[in-house]
Amino acid sequence: MKKFISILSVLVLLPLFAVAQNDGGIVRADNSKFALTNAKIYTVTNGVIENGTIIINNGIIEAVGADINIPGDAQVIDYSGQEIYPGMIDSGTRLGLSEIGSISEANDFREFGEITPNMQALTAVNPNSVAIPVTRVSGVTSALTMPAGGPLPGTAATISLFGYTPDQMFAGSKGVVMNFPSTAQRGWRRRTPEQIEKAREKAQETINDAFDKAELYAKIKESDDARYYPEMEALAKVVNGEVLLYIEVNSAKDILSALEWIEDRGYENVVLTGVAEGWRVAEEIAEAGLPVITGPVLSTPTRGSDAYDTAYKNPGLMQKAGIKVALRTMDTENSRNLPYNAGFAATYGMGREEALKAITINAAEIMGVGDQLGSIEVGKKANIFVSTGDPFQTSTKILDVFIDGYKIPMTSRHTELYDEFLNRTPGVNKNPTKVDG
């Protein structure tokens, strides 16, 4: 029976892979006008449509509903029995910036210097990173890709996971990243309380000094005598509320300090990221009205004494306190596990509906692109995926992915190696002995 099932599953999957293999040919993304029919459509913002149709034209969702006229020139794809969702958005990754973790030459997310907010992650995004197809065939269609390093390491960008240049991939949102001075331990090397406090004070001074200067720069930059400071130019946009400020902060104590700092400075467009102990101070965050990007949900508790499931419960506890929550993997090559991070958050208190919002519409709105991404609505970018069922469920397969209206080849290094090696030729013997009659 088991054998029968596995043969059956190979047969069922064969047509999918057959398209991808194409006799060694290149499979190109297709941007026809599409009519996706007979699917159960989870719009996220306007409920669920049974037996619905989506018309994709010129990269945009042109129509969606149960009773839609199908244009004569549209390529019709029947998705009977399948489900359609808005593409998932991972609100924190190093996608495109990191190719192989341990090799410094293959990592471009960390620049020299303490105050480098003008460093653009978008510039260093490698559109051909092997991790990008691996991620998008799992239904993740957009990602916030972030620089790392000192107090102000650079500017993060929201990208579409399809395109041949960074500009083709840019999804319309940028934000300056700030690492709020941390009193937490990080990594294996323990710091003494004195070392922690000294480092915190120094980092706080560095940040305050930079923003004092930026506020001054914002006032005088239009005058004839003002010199051009690239770092201040980037921070002035934060001061003026023109770009987002992503503040990475995790421990409860640091979150409270950050809330105070934000209030003192009076900056608009601030997003808290990380927020591993957000559940401890959820009311204060909600009161400040700040949105949160949190994750990975699949994390160990921040304190040895915490209950084993605190990281699983954190997003749900914050959401229930009234905070707008988006989720991230903070991963690169395994950003594809975003739906499982959401699945654990759903299971441990957030519920399926809110967890789905946390990786779609909430993420888009927090990044300021809620009018373009994050739900299946007329006029929005056609970033969607088709699945055999609930995308949080581990066994669910993603059948098709559309990004900016392009139907994406459903291949990646992982599927290609599977196709080649499941039944390797030759097997053990390269030239098996032939027995002649």
Partner 1 sequence: MLFLCTSVLQAQTKKGDVLIKNGTVITITDGTLENTDVLVRNGKIDRIGKNLKAPNGVEEVDATGKFVMPGIIDAHSHIAGTSINEGTSQVTAEVSMEDVVDPLDVGIYRALAGGVTSIHLMHGSANVIGGQNETLKLRWGSTNPEDLRFEGAPRTIKFALGENPTRGGRSRGIQPQSRMGVEAMLRNTFNDAIKYRDAWNAYRSNKSSRKVAPEYSLRMETMVDILEGEVLVHCHSYRADEIYMLMKVFSDFGIEKLTFQHANEAYKVAPELAEFGASASVFSDWWAYKLEVYYSTAYNAAILTENGVTTSINSDSGELIRHLFHEAAKTQKYGDLSDNEALALITLNPAKQLGIDNRVGSLEKGKDADIAIFDNHPLSIYAVPQMTFVDGVKYFDIENDAADQRIYIDPESTVEDVQILYSNDHDRCMEGANVVNFTDLFNNK
Give the footprint of partner 1 on residues 392-431 (CB under 8 A).
392-397, 413-415, 417-418, 421-422, 424, 427-428
- By CB under 8 A, the count of residues binding partner 1 is 74
Segment 152 to 211, residues that bind partner 1, using CB under 8 A:
182-188, 190, 193
Neighbours of 59 (CB within 10 A): 15
Q: Judged by CB, which is closer to partner 1: 168, or 393? A: 393
In the complex, the smallest distance separating the C-beta of residue 380 from partner 1, rounded to whole angstroms, is: 27
Q: What is the DSSP string of 43-100?
A: -SSS-EEEEEEEEEETTEEEEEESS-PPPTTSEEEE-TT-EEEEPEEEEEE-TTTBSS
Terminal-to-terminal C-alpha distance of the chain: 36
Segment 232 to 261, residues that bind partner 1, using CB under 8 A: 250-253
Site for partner 1 in 278-307 (CB under 8 A): 296, 298-307
The 79-118 contact track toward partner 1, x by CB under 8 A, reads: --------------------xxxxxx--x-----------
| Smallest distance, partner 1 to C-beta of residue 374, A | 22
Q: Give yes or no for residue 10 binding partner 1 (CB under 8 A).
A: yes
Rounded distance between C-alpha atoms, residue 312 and residue 35, angstroms: 38
Whether the CB-CB separation of 391 and 398 falls below 8 Å is answered with yes
Residue from the set 97, 272, 346, 382 that interacts with partner 1 by CB under 8 A? 346
Q: DSSP 3-state assignment of 428? A: coil
- Binding window for partner 1 (CB under 8 A); candidates: 58-66, 205-213, 258-266, 326-334: 326-334
Alpha carbons 384 and 19: distance in angstroms, whole number? 20
Q: Which of 40, 136, 336, 381 binds partner 1 (CB under 8 A)?
A: 336
Is 14 a binding residue for partner 1 by CB under 8 A? The answer is no
Give whichever of 53 and 145 is closer to partner 1, judged by the CB atom.
Answer: 145
**Site for partner 1 contains 274 (CB under 8 A):** yes
Which of 388-397's residues contact partners 24+ apart within 8 Å by CB, and which partners?
388/82, 388/83, 389/83, 390/83, 390/352, 391/83, 391/85, 391/88, 391/139, 391/339, 392/339, 392/340, 392/342, 392/343, 392/346, 392/352, 392/355, 392/356, 393/343, 394/340, 394/343
Smallest distance, Å, CB 163 to partner 1? 21
Site for partner 1 in 22-81 (CB under 8 A): none
